[in-house]
């Protein structure tokens, strides 16, 4: 939690074979996915197309505009303020009229901060595509589990293995390591058995760390779009969230 997780949208190109109007892509992250930034490509067949980025936040139905007249033929990155617990309920990209095969082979990368309020510690992300007054929804059949925060108010930094945290004292000296065993947290003191922190054996936990550091692909077969996401590499530096 408190660390970045990136999702990659792909397969969203205009497959109708003709130009369509009011073409939009809307990502709708659930609780526990707190949007931070996005990276959009130079879209295929994007010459002459511009788009607008809009968003809504939890508790407010008003659409807010972040940027307009963005050149779809050039890459674009953006970010929205994210203190770590602000939920952007919809991130919307409005392209207007686009030609056939617009966006063919392109991807959009969205980065979130993992929060501690995902229902049942489960991340859920939905998206919908709009065109010609139609909408095509998609939903992930896979729902990755969020590791809950260790039961401590201490200063924590990721352990770099993707399966736990190192707890530091007020002098930034390691006190021990919290390891998630799949059901609960285990705490191993830094001087346990004279084993230096960072060299404590992780026997039996590889299965849980694997899914935290490997790519997770999600395919939506309905309508125009498919959506994939992958877990971002955990940041190791203290204070980076």
So what's the pLDDT on residue 240? 37
Give the pLDDT mean for 73-78.
98
Stretch 42-54: mean pLDDT: 98
Residue 207: DSSP 8-state:
H
Give 96-121 pLDDT, tens digit per residue.
Answer: 999 999 999 998 999 998 887 777 67
- Whole-number percent of the chain with pLDDT over 90: 36
Give the chain's domains with CATH numbers: 4-144+216-230 (2.60.120), 155-210 (no CATH)
* Best CA proximity match to 71, nearest among 37, 44, 98, 47: 47
- With a CB cutoff of 8 Å and minimum separation 6, the contacts of 147 are 1, 121, 163, 180, 212
Q: Are 10 and 92 in contact (CB under 8 A)?
A: no
**The predicted structure's pLDDT at residue 215:** 28
Give the highest mean pLDDT range of 56-60, 73-77, 144-148, 179-183.
Answer: 73-77
The DSSP element (H or E) to which 74 belongs, if any, is: none
Torsion of CA 167, 169, 174, 177, to 10 degrees: -20
Q: Over the chain, what is the mean pLDDT? A: 76
pLDDT confidence of residue 120:
67
Q: Are 102 and 95 in contact (CB under 8 A)?
A: yes
235 or 85: whose pLDDT is higher?
85
How many Å apart are CA 9 and CA 43, to the nearest integer?
A: 13
Alpha-carbon distance values, 2 to 5, 57, 108, 157, 204 (Å): 9, 19, 22, 10, 25
pLDDT greater than 50 at residue 22: yes
Model confidence at 91, in pLDDT bands (50, 70, 90)?
very high
Percent of the chain that is helix, strand, coil (3-state, to 5): 5, 45, 50
pLDDT of residue 241: 37
pLDDT given at position 192: 52
- pTM as predicted: 0.63
Integer CA distances (angstroms), 144 to 66, 87, 133, 183, in order: 29, 18, 32, 15
pLDDT for 92: 96
């Amino acid at each position: 939690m408190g660390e970045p997780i990136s999702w990659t949208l792909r397969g969203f190109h205009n497959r109708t074979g003709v130009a369509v109007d009011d073409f939009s892509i809307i990502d709708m992250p659930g609780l526990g996915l707190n949007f931070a930034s996005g990276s959009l490509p130079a879209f295929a067949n994007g010459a002459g197309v511009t788009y607008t980025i809009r968003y809504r936040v939890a508790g407010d139905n008003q659409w807010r505009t972040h940027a307009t007249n963005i050149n779809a033929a050039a890459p674009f990155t953006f970010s929205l303020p994210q203190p770590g617990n602000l939920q952007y309920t919809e991130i919307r990209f409005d392209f207007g009229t686009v030609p056939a095969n617009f966006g063919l082979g392109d991807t959009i990368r969205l980065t979130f901060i993992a929060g501690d309020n995902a229902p049942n510690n489960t991340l859920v992300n939905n998206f919908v595509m709009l065109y010609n007054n139609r909408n095509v929804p998609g939903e992930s059949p896979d729902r990755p589990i969020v590791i809950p925060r260790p039961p401590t108010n201490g200063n924590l930094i990721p352990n770099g293995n993707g399966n736990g945290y190192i707890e530091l004292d007020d002098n930034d000296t390691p006190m021990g390591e919290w390891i998630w065993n799949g059901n609960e947290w285990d705490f191993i003191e830094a001087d346990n058995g004279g084993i230096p922190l960072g060299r404590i054996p992780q026997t039996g936990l590889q299965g849980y760390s694997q899914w935290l550091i490997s790519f997770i692909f999600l395919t939506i077969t309905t309508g125009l779009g498919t959506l994939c996401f992958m877990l971002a590499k955990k940041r190791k530096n203290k204070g980076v969230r």
